Amino acid sequence: MKWQLTLLLAFCAPFLMGQKVIGFEEFNLAPGAFLNGSDGSGGFKSGEVFLRNAFDAQYMSWSGWAISSTTDTLTPGFTNQYSAITGKGYAGSAHYAITYAFGNNNMVLQGSAAGNPVAGMYITNSTYAYLSMKDGDAFSKRFGGATGNDPDYFLLTIKAYYQGALSADSVAVYLADYRFSDNSRDYILNQWKWADLSPLGPADSLSFSLSSSDVGLFGMNTPAYFCMDHISLSIPVGVAGTRVPDLFEVYPNPTADVIQITHSESGPVDCYLFDANGKLALRQPLPAPGGQLDLQHLPPGTYFATLKGKQGQSTRVVVRE
């Protein structure tokens, strides 16, 4: 993680990082509609995100990503492959992206988002996969088996590509988990779940792979689908006033609880701490030549500390372990 922090610090020195959310609403689909790449476009662009798609006109089939506004949470099987089990996008929005993870389903970052961390996104199951795991079907088993004790799982693994190299770190999101000794804790995800991707660091694209405990002679039996919405990107934005990259120093960083900040202003400064979603987590005045920020009440993750003073303002990445 130290090399990731070094890259983040180097990048953030000349820029203030803002957050931009990609929600796919600009596709303006009618309720129940979807885009599966049948126009041969090869993918879908939304802001700084490009989602790859491959459409086979001969077999009228697709892989990669599709954009959907379908709402069917009840119909099982392949004919209902474009619906999220939530029946809507995150926070009640109309649109979301769904992937059939058979081909190249990378998410490519473009423009000002390329090379910067992705804060995270919301993930849920497709109706097709959810009902297949819940009830079983002609190809897939019912998760938990006849007794409910089978340690089944459906796992999404997310990695980042940066400058041509695939990250060693990964983020795991269990779309279903029946591995608990207490069966009452077993679940199949049926709501939007936040996936914190800040541990992956800088990214040019994200890689998504699915794995399942239910496998056969031809690979995974569980339908290889999941849904995604409200991607939170880190975007550098211009800052009014004078930029002073060495306005302050932060240590220790990473930290488990408290950070010490020293600054070069002659008087007090305002310190703002934003979380990976761009939400203000803490605001505190700091006297000259510095002071402490207590982060013990904050969850582990990546934060952006911004100091504003007479010399200007500057931003540093702070990691709470």
pLDDT tens profile 37-76: 999 889 999 999 999 999 998 888 999 999 999 999 999 9
- The answer to whether residue 221 sits within a structural domain is yes
Q: Is 221 in the same domain as 259? A: no
Give 23 or 243, the one with higher predicted confidence. 23
Whether 1 has a pLDDT exceeding 50, the answer reads no
Distance, CA of 52 to CA of 275 (rounded, Å) = 29
Q: How many domains does the chain have?
A: 2
> Does 9 map to a domain?
no
Q: Average pLDDT in the 22-51 region?
A: 94
How much is the pLDDT for 247?
A: 65
Tell me, what amino acid is at 296? Q
Residue 276's pLDDT is: 66
Do 301 and 193 share a domain, yes or no?
no
| 212 and 267 both lie in a single domain | no
**In terms of Cα–Cα distance, which of 75, 179, 94, 93 is closest to 132?**
75
* CATH number for the domain that contains residue 228: 2.60.120.1350
Q: Which percentage of the chain shows pLDDT scores above 70?
A: 88
What confidence tier does 126 reach under pLDDT thresholds 50, 70, 90?
very high
Whether residue 206 is contained in a domain is answered as yes
In this structure, the answer to whether residues 208 and 302 fall within a common structural domain is no
* Residue that the structure tokens 């009830």 belong to: 135
* 199-248 per-position pLDDT tens digit: 898 899 999 999 999 999 989 999 999 999 999 988 765 433 333 345 67
Tell me what pLDDT residue 3 has.
38
State the chain's mean pLDDT as an integer. 86
Instruction: Give 134's contacts (C-beta < 8 A, 6+ positions apart).
Output: 142, 143, 188
pTM of the model: 0.72
The SS3 of residue 56 is strand
- Evaluate whether residue 194 is within a structural domain: yes
Domain that residue 202 falls in = 16-237
